[in-house]
Structure formats: C-alpha cells, structure tokens
Structure 1
Amino acid sequence: MGKFITVTPQTALDLMEKELEIIILDIRPYDEFKKEHIPGAVNLDYDGHQFQSKAEKLDKDQVYLIYCKTGVRGGYFLDKMRESGFQGAYNILGGFVAWKISKLPMVSGE
C-alpha cells in the first residue's frame, strides 16, 4: 500500500525533483490553473459532478502530487484516491497559496 500524506510545499518540490514519474494534479478550476500553476502540473478541475469519473480514469499505478488552492479539497481528494485503490498520493499542505508564499517555481499565464 502506498503513502497518502500531506507534505509541505518544500517537501513537494523535493518529491518532484526526486520522483520523476510523479504526476502533478492541479484540482483548482481551469481559469485559476491557466493564470498560474506549478510547473508540469495538469489540471483536473474539482467541480464535484464529473470529478469522480475523471478521477476513475487516472492510472491508479502512478503516484500523484495533488494541490488545490488552500489544501482542503486536496486533503479530501487524497482520501478519495485512497478509497479508490490508488498506489499513492501526496497533498500539498496549504495548497497553491502556500506554494506561492514559499516562493517556489511557478508557470504564469499562457
């Protein structure tokens, strides 16, 4: 059974550098993602309705690093991934807000 834990933004950055296979999921609304996001992240908008079916399409053998705006929805999604039989996932403590405050790398407006 993999790990399902919440990590600090700095630990998340270390994971991204060490685990090249990790998939970074931004679960904020697409317009927020488009404005700015963590490098290499893919957007999976946590809009409630289709979210479960979108999550079911993800490769459960991969390890994910997930984040929302403040970390709350990310924690909820972490539990969902555990329940759905994923290999493992990490949630960023404080979400994108904490990542920004920590002055970690970002991609801005496309």
Structure 2
Amino acid sequence: MFDFLKPAAPAYQNLTPAEFSAALRQLGTVLLDVRRPDEFAGGHLPGAVNIDVTAPDFGSRVAALDNTHPTLVYCRSGARSATAASQLSKAGFGHVANLLGGVLDWPEKLVR
C-alpha cells in the first residue's frame, strides 16, 4: 500500500552458519570480526580481521578495506554484526553478509 511506511530492507544478507561457512570459501572474501579485541583474543574464526564496531574509529578503519570484495561479518550473537553490516552497506560495500547467531551458534572450532 504505502511502501515508504515499511521499514527499509537491510542492504545485506543474514546467513545461517552453514551458509556463512560456504560463503567463507569464496576467493577474495573479507572476514570481519566486529567484537571487542578481548573477545577476539578469546577465540575467533580463522582468517578474521578484528575491527570493533563500538570503537570510535570503526568507520575510518573499514573505509580502508576493499569494498568490492564480499565482506562477511560476525560478532558474539549477531546483533553487533547486524549493525556493522548495515553500516558497511551504507558505506558502499556491495556484498555484505551477517552471521546469524554469531559465534554462539558457530559449529566449528575457533582459533586464538
């Protein structure tokens, strides 16, 4: 009826852990852990880059990434990474995906 009254759909995809795992195997994919550095140090997905979404320099740090590559983001539960995915999409990143359930639902072993 009135499309402008509907909330805008996110410009990123939410992926299940199985879908996220498959997406990780694509060449050129950037894996972004948006948790705090202490959380990252406690265990993260292999190959992840840590940029804390709550840090004041988040925007400038992600601006240094190549926005033409698929970018996969995750956090502890999926909430902060959804915020980060939205910010990345608004910043011109074309292919962004968020891990539903975060590392809490991640079935594979984390690395330190």
**What band does the TM-score fall into relative to the shorter chain?**
0.7 to 0.9
Which protein, 1 or 2, shows the higher relative CO under an 8 Å CA cutoff with sep ≥ 6?
Answer: 1
The CA deviation at 1:55 is: 1.6
Aligned residues: 102
- Between Structure 1 and Structure 2, which shows a larger proportion of helix residues? 1
Structure 2, unmatched stretches of 5+, are 1-10
- Between Structure 1 and Structure 2, which shows a larger proportion of strand residues? 1
Structure 1 runs of 4+ aligned residues shifted over 6 Å read none
Structure 1, unmatched stretches of 5+, are none
- Provide the identity percentage: 32
Distance 2:102 2:23 in 1: 15
Using the size of structure 1 for normalisation, the TM-score is: 0.85
Partner of 2:110: 106
Partner of 1:55: 62
1:2-52 Cα shifts (integer Å, max 9, x gaps)? x720101111111112x1211110011111111101111111122331111
Partner of 1:38: 45
For the pair shown, the structure with the greater C-alpha radius of gyration is 2
